[in-house]
Structure 1
Amino acid sequence: MNDYFDNSDVTERNLKYLIENHGEIYEAYENFGKLLHEKGGPLDKKTRWLLKVALSTSCQYRYALETHILKALHEGCTKEEIEHAILLVAPTVGFPKMMEGLLVLRKVLQSL
């Protein structure tokens, strides 16, 4: 039985709705995130993306995790660095969340 449901289309439609109906709020959110990411402190880009991978894994937000994995790869993070960030989630937030993160990583890597 295949009970997998890819909700990326639903997420994209919902984001489009937000932008079309609440564009100013979305822009403020985007600017806030960009400022935090780029000017929030001394961490280099690779470290910031690895942190976002770990945070998305711990929250089990698959769409964000996929996006953060791709951005981490784009910034020069290796598959091994990303996998390590995901593995580090297990002791703090749980083995099942880490395992789900590994599944997402493997899916992303297979799609490249």
Structure 2
Amino acid sequence: MSAPPTVPKDAPEAYRTFFDTYPDVARAYQDLGKSLRAAGPLSEREVGLVKLAIAIGARMEGAAHSHTRRGLAAGIDKKALEQVAILAASTVGFPNMMAAFRWVRDVIEDH
């Protein structure tokens, strides 16, 4: 039997419940993420910024919170994380950028 999947200590309750209830699926999901990160030359820092940008572009608040938390844990500068949010203005519009900026700031302020 393989090791249980790793659940971040600051993960939302729904995430924890899913991982506890479906550990095999959770482990496969984590393994997919590892394979995707290893598939190219991007550094962990670059991957973190890209993942945050994707979450913002898709307007996924929970994912933006998650990738901001992960970015901070990986040592990415708060201003770099904020810049990812503000860069979205010309693509997703000012109101959506402001929402994304708030999502990033929510996590930074709680950090």
State TM-score, norm by structure 2: 0.76
CA distance in 2, matches of 1:12, 1:61: 15
What is the Cα deviation at residue 17 of structure 1?
4.5
CA distance in 1, matches of 2:64, 2:21: 26
Corresponding position: 1:92 with 2:91: yes
CA distance in 2, matches of 1:45, 1:13: 26
Taking every aligned residue pair, what percent have the same amino acid on both sides?
Answer: 28
Corresponding position: 1:26 with 2:26: yes
How many aligned positions are there? 101
Distance verdict in 2 for CA 1:15–1:78, change over 3 Å = closer
What is the Cα deviation at residue 109 of structure 1?
1.7
Q: What does 1:73-88 correspond to in 2, within 5 Å?
A: 73-88=72-87
Equivalent residue number for residue 51 of structure 1: 50
Distance verdict in 2 for CA 1:79–1:12, change over 3 Å = closer
Q: Which structure dedicates a bigger proportion of its chain to helix?
A: 1
What is the Cα deviation at residue 16 of structure 1?
4.2
State TM-score, norm by structure 1: 0.75
Q: Say what the alpha-carbon RMSD is for the aligned residues.
A: 2.0
Instruction: Give the gaps of 5 or more residues in structure 1.
Output: 1-10
What is the Cα deviation at residue 12 of structure 1?
3.9
* Runs (4+) off by over 4 Å: none
What is the Cα deviation at residue 20 of structure 1?
4.3
Instruction: Give the gaps of 5 or more residues in structure 2.
Output: 1-10
Which one scores higher on RCO, CA 8 angstroms, separation ≥ 6? 1
